[in-house]
Amino acid sequence: MKKLIYTVCIFTCSSLFARDFTIIQLPDTQNYTGRLDGGTPEIFKAQTQWIVDNKDSLNIVYIAHVGDLVQRGDNNGNDIEWLNADSAMSILEDSVSTGLADGIPYGIAVGNHDQSPEGDADGSTFSYNQFFGVERFSGRDYYGGHFGSNNDNHFDFFSASGLDFIVVYLEYDRNPDVTVLTWADSLLKVYNDKRAIIVGHYILNPDKNAPFSVQGRAIYGALMANPNLFLMLAGHLSYSRREDTFNGNTVYSLTANYQVRENGGNGWLRILQFSPSNNEIRVKTYSPTLDSFETDYNSQFTLQFDRITSVEGLWLIPNKFILLKNYPNPFNPSTTISYSIPKSDFVILKIYNTIGREIQTVFSEFQNSGIYSINFDARNLSSRLYFFRLQSGKGFVDTKKMLLMR
């Protein structure tokens, strides 16, 4: 019988739950997919390929595209712009290169140029839903659902370093839809245990002090009473930022759009690196095409946020069962599986294949309250996707995916 090596943290284990992770804010790509001179789709592909190539080193866990995938929402029936967008975003979905069955989780806001007639903020989203509709995302673990019959307004889930997030996407409308805002508000209330991010296309104006747009003001006004809301991401006009506080809760709004630059934007994107152990978000602006950073006031900055870790603090004593994703993933031949137990309990960890057949019982034993980390050695298993499931005697069950690649 193999000997398991446990790391047990009863009073402090910040290194286990405080690993830095990254969200990418992907600005307007309309000039890459559909400029009049043919566009520069290779720059768009370079952005998404860079994300995949740096997924592990930066621990990239989610990508938020802020809208205007294309320049002409219908383009008189010519789908070339949408095909360019599909080709670039599909790079994020490749299970082999990303090592994830569903690819790297991502969502896309509907911008005014994603609607038809061209640039109409209240136009049709037929093509958007044809290429990036419910059918594309349905069944993926991170996809939460949608409002109404299409994907114009939808939401995702993701987790990182023991923290749970909900990301809500709101279509750009000149006249804010009260029913959509009510739906978004209900999501933040139902999932009030998850930190909330709103993604819309046009939330801020680039003027001094970055005033809200009409829709941005309506979004913030409808959602500001939710204490789990902390971040709003947008594009559309230049780049700017602001912060607002209501009842002691601060919400950061960040706009990024570089479409007026050379080559349709030169591939600039936003890197939001969350550092739970330091209670901060470090924001950087980078271009894979130029291999360069921008460092001005609105391009490189740090946001202080004392609720990154948890409402209770730094996870000194766990208050609930948590099963984290294994790391590294993909792995060869061993990986670390981490979890927390709020009260002493009988726990079982098992490994399954993709058809549900049990491959191995890693342990089945009574364990005290604490935060645990074990090294799982898979050298006797073949390369493929596996599932690991943690189950407690008190009814907790959670399952995660891991990929063994030799």
Question: Using one digit for the tens of pLDDT, what is the confidence trace for 313-353?
Answer: 333 445 678 888 888 889 999 988 888 888 889 999 999 99
Give the SS3 label for residue 338: strand
- Structural domain spans, the chain: 6-14+317-404, 19-304
Tell me how far apart the alpha carbons of residues 112 and 118 are, in angstroms, rounded to a whole number. 8
pLDDT bin (cut points 50, 70, 90) of residue 174 is: confident
pLDDT of 116: 86
Mean pLDDT over the full length of the chain: 88
Give the SS3 label for residue 48: helix
Contact assessment for residue 216 and residue 200, using Cβ atoms and an 8 Å cutoff: yes
Q: Which CATH architecture has domain 6-14+317-404?
A: Sandwich (2.60)
May I ask the CATH class of domain 19-304?
A: alpha beta
Side chain identity, residue 338: S
Task: Check pLDDT > 70 for residue 9.
Answer: no
pLDDT bin (cut points 50, 70, 90) of residue 312 is: very low
pLDDT of 354: 95
The dihedrals phi and psi of 16, each to the nearest 5 degrees, come to -75, -45
Q: What is the pTM of this model?
A: 0.74
Q: What is the pLDDT of residues 345-389, one digit of tens each?
A: 999 999 999 999 999 999 999 998 877 888 899 999 999 999 999
Side chain identity, residue 264: G
Task: Check pLDDT > 50 for residue 29.
Answer: yes
Q: What is the pLDDT of residues 52-102, one digit of tens each?
A: 999 999 999 999 999 999 988 876 667 889 999 999 999 999 999 999 999
pLDDT of 319: 64
pLDDT of 158: 95
Task: Check pLDDT > 70 for residue 249.
Answer: yes
